[in-house]
Chain A
Amino acid sequence: MKTLLRNCIYQGKNVYRDMGFLFWGLIYPIILVSFFYIAFSGISNIGLEDIDIGMERENPISAILETIDMVNIVEVPRKDANRNLAEGNIDGFIDEDLNILVNDSGINQTMIKGIVEQIKQMNSLNRPMENYDFEANYIADRDQEANGILVIFYSLIGMVSTYSVFAGIETVSLAQGNLTNIGARLNITPLKKKDFLFAGIIVALAFNLLANGLLLLFIEFVLKMNLLREARYSLALIILGNIFGVSLGIFIGASNKQSIGVKTMFAIASTLFLSFLSGLMSPDIKIILDKNLPILGRINPLAIIGNSLYRVNLLGNTKDVGVGMALLTLYSIILIFGAYMFLRRRNYDSI
């Protein structure tokens, strides 16, 4: 216990003084989330806006259109219609014969077409006016806020929870005699390598969880975004993400003889790529993959964390969270076991 504590203190000091950890673990996520916030705050704050329809004063359908909530009628003479459309003053222009002029294909123009069609179709249906009951409510509204862009933030939290990968690489490299001087010295002492590694894991988890906590506080209190509403599951997922990260780091560190720089680059590339697949750079990519290759979203560890986080926090859906957690645990066990296979009974003839 005493040895473990001593190892934890020394490795803790080592990580604390490491500029790499300070940047990748602490500063980088905060910079990234700030960029996301700046870029996406305009997209997520949406609301219904009126559709501007241009028409001449004497157009007979203006009385009908005035009764529609979202329509704003703009009086435009026919000869000025093109200019107004080109300048974006109106979304569409309806003439006396119910022909429509537009400058673009979009939802507003489609809505205008739908309104005109409804008028034409009512004429075509040729039923007495009293047959139409516009007051009847046929629809049971189930409102669900759509905000796919938030996937990016959850994906980011998922990614940084695995950033214990860097401390994992560092720890296992320090324990290898052929990679670092400390490793060489450690290998000729009676100190147990497993104590050193175990202390490294504890330190990696502690520091990365601390960094994650700071990021979450930054999101909550500086950006004022309430992303984690369900603490119990969220915390469990972030902790499992950390355990997965450190396991991945130990595996990357133990499985090859490349320098720490190359291993770090590999860790960055792999976590970034897995995050990209889980929607870090665009929710559309996640949607396309979910549609065409749904299995990927279920087995990608970063997608498991990101998806589960938005499900439990925004949708109140805890259905598949247990499966995801079990899978993350399984990945961690496999990676640790793989690393153990690489590290066990390693001897050096000359270092």
Chain B
Amino acid sequence: MTVYKYFMKVALKHKFIILGYSTLFLLVAIINGTIAGTEELQFVETDLNIGIIDNMDSELSRGLVGYLEENNNIEDIIEDEGYIREQIFLQALDGAIIIPRDFDEKVINKEEAIELYKDDRRIGAYYLEQQVEKYLIFANATYEDNTFDMDSLKSALNKKANIELIETKKGLKNSRMDIWFKNYYNYTSYIIIAVYIAVIGMVMIEFRDKRLEDRMRISSKKNFSLNREIYLGQVSLGIGITSIFILGSLVLKGRYIGEVEFSKYMINIAVFSFAILCFTFLINNLTRSRFTINGISTVVSLGTSFISGVLVPQEFLGERALSIAKFFPTYYFVSINERSIGSFGDIRYELLMQMMFGIVFLLMGLYFARPRLRA
């Protein structure tokens, strides 16, 4: 097993690629975990991110701020138009309200009483406008004898509607953790493609060095045995790399694996790893250029992640993007992760497609390897 041993030794020389990508991956996974949406068993009101500057500080303006604060997140902002516009542009805020010093007077006179920065095309912004308008219309309705009836207003605004989720949503075990695992494993596809192609590609470049190949050819080692050890090395390396990411999920959220469809993620990642290993085999038989391998590693990993639903959920992607994505295993890998399954029969098509891709890549790789073997 000399070849195998040296294959692994050369692979270890590229440990910084694995470490670099793993660190980046874990960072993304952790950050993504903090921003992942939560799915509850009860209805949860969508809270808007609102910035408010209250220059009036009257009972009426404080009442408005308090009312909006009840169901929304009030963010600290500064009274700078450029800054506010940027926060709206970035979607860090759904809207920003500036209450002027003569707010009460303007409300009484039914004039434009507040400045509202928002994107008119967004439903969240529309809802915010509705909330503000409602408050001010109600406030003015209570205005009598030069004063607003704030107690009645507050009491009326406390009247809530009864809202219920229908039964189909209540069968889920732990939706929040399922979302975390789904996002985590979706991201592994990006990293697996990048690391497999980069690391195995780099090792194979060293093994395909002309002088080394010539020396191997005149050695007593049989070609079959040599290739077997190289392929075994690739498989071992692949298993090792994939294991890092599986272990990562166990370290970060291991205590929840009983509450999510963990076996689905395991089978899916194993099949996907096989497909990508075969893709790497194909690439290694197509080129010996370090630059090309680096390029393919970056472009394919990032590109497929964008169009297959890793970085942007599939539901937001256009038809065109998804049609292109179907020509690579990542699409099917993500589709499985996105779905809640009753049995493995539910995902057999996607698993089969990934296997098929793997086999096609393998056969193509063998085809392109023929001229080299003949030489």
Taking Cβ atoms with an 8 Å cutoff, the residues of A that contact B are 19-20, 23-24, 27-28, 31-32, 35-36, 38-43, 46-49, 70, 81-82, 85-86, 92, 98-114, 116-118, 120-127, 131-134, 136-148, 151, 261, 264-265, 268-269, 272-273, 276, 281-288, 290-291, 310-311, 314-315, 317, 319
B156 at the interface (CB under 8 A from A): yes
Q: Are B138's CB and A108's CB within 8 A?
A: no
Q: Are A264's CB and B88's CB within 8 A?
A: no
15 A–B contact pairs at CB < 8 A? A32-B302, A39-B307, A43-B316, A81-B166, A100-B163, A101-B166, A105-B46, A107-B123, A117-B161, A120-B161, A122-B138, A144-B117, A145-B89, A284-B35, A291-B92
Apart from the given pairs A107-B46, A317-B82, 12 other A-B contacts in the complex at a CB distance below 8 Å: A28-B298, A48-B123, A92-B163, A103-B168, A113-B45, A124-B159, A145-B119, A146-B89, A146-B90, A282-B311, A288-B34, A315-B82
User: Shortest distance in angstroms between B226's beta carbon and chain A's nearest beta carbon?
Assistant: 25
Which 10 A-B pairs have CB atoms at the shortest separation, nearest pair first? Answer: A146-B119, A131-B141, A125-B156, A42-B318, A136-B110, A116-B161, A317-B82, A148-B91, A140-B112, A100-B163
Please provide the chain B residues from 108 to 125 with a CB less than 8 Å away from any CB of chain A in the complex: 110-125
Contact partner, A139, options B112, B122, B167, Cβ 8 Å: B112
User: Shortest distance in angstroms between A230's beta carbon and chain B's nearest beta carbon?
Assistant: 14
Q: Are A134's CB and B123's CB within 8 A?
A: no
Given A32-B299, A39-B306, A110-B45, residue A139 in contact with residue B132 (CB < 8 A): yes
Q: Using Cβ atoms and an 8 Å threshold, which residues of chain B touch A117?
A: 159-161
Given A143-B119, A281-B311, residue A151 in contact with residue B294 (CB < 8 A): no
Q: Are A35's CB and B116's CB within 8 A?
A: no
Q: Are B166's CB and A86's CB within 8 A?
A: yes
Report how far A109 CA is from B82 CA in the complex, Å: 32
Chain B 313-349: CB-based contact to A (< 8 A → 1; otherwise 0): 0001110110010000000000000000000000000
Interface residue count for B (Cβ, 8 Å)?
91
Q: Using Cβ atoms and an 8 Å threshold, which residues of chain A touch B39?
A: 105
Q: Using Cβ atoms and an 8 Å threshold, which residues of chain B touch A126?
A: 152
Given A19-B289, A42-B321, A103-B165, residue A134 in contact with residue B88 (CB < 8 A): no
Q: Are A287's CB and B92's CB within 8 A?
A: yes
B266 at the interface (CB under 8 A from A): no
Q: Using Cβ atoms and an 8 Å threshold, which residues of chain A touch B125?
A: 146
Chain B 275-315: CB-based contact to A (< 8 A → 1; otherwise 0): 00000000000000111101100110011001100011000
User: Shortest distance in angstroms between B196's beta carbon and chain A's nearest beta carbon?
Assistant: 16
User: Shortest distance in angstroms between B22's beta carbon and chain A's nearest beta carbon?
Assistant: 12
Q: Are A317's CB and B86's CB within 8 A?
A: yes
Q: Are A138's CB and B299's CB within 8 A?
A: no
Report how far A109 CA is from B166 CA in the complex, Å: 13
Report how far A315 CA is from B119 CA in the complex, Å: 13
Taking Cβ atoms with an 8 Å cutoff, the residues of B that contact A are 16-17, 20, 24, 28, 31, 34-35, 39-40, 43-46, 82, 84-86, 88-92, 106-107, 110-127, 129-134, 136-138, 140-142, 152-153, 155-157, 159-169, 289-292, 294-295, 298-299, 302-303, 306-307, 311-312, 316-318, 320-321, 324
Given A138-B112, A281-B311, residue A125 in contact with residue B85 (CB < 8 A): no
Report how far A140 CA is from B136 CA in the complex, Å: 13
Report how far A109 CA is from B124 CA in the complex, Å: 11
Report how far A276 CA is from B21 CA in the complex, Å: 13
User: Shortest distance in angstroms between A44's beta carbon and chain B's nearest beta carbon?
Assistant: 10
Q: Using Cβ atoms and an 8 Å threshold, which residues of chain B touch A23?
A: 291-292, 295
Contact partner, A38, options B166, B169, B324, Cβ 8 Å: B324
Q: Are B298's CB and A113's CB within 8 A?
A: no
User: Shortest distance in angstroms between A113's beta carbon and chain B's nearest beta carbon?
Assistant: 5
User: Shortest distance in angstroms between A305's beta carbon and chain B's nearest beta carbon?
Assistant: 16
Most chain A CB within 10 A, of B88, B168, B307, is at: B88
Contact partner, B161, options A24, A98, A310, Cβ 8 Å: A98
Report how far A167 CA is from B353 CA in the complex, Å: 42
Question: Chain B residue with minimal CB distance to A140?
Answer: B112
Report how far A36 CA is from B16 CA in the complex, Å: 28
Most chain A CB within 10 A, of B92, B132, B160, is at: B92
Question: Chain B residue with minimal CB distance to A98?
Answer: B161
Q: Using Cβ atoms and an 8 Å threshold, which residues of chain B touch A24?
A: 291, 295
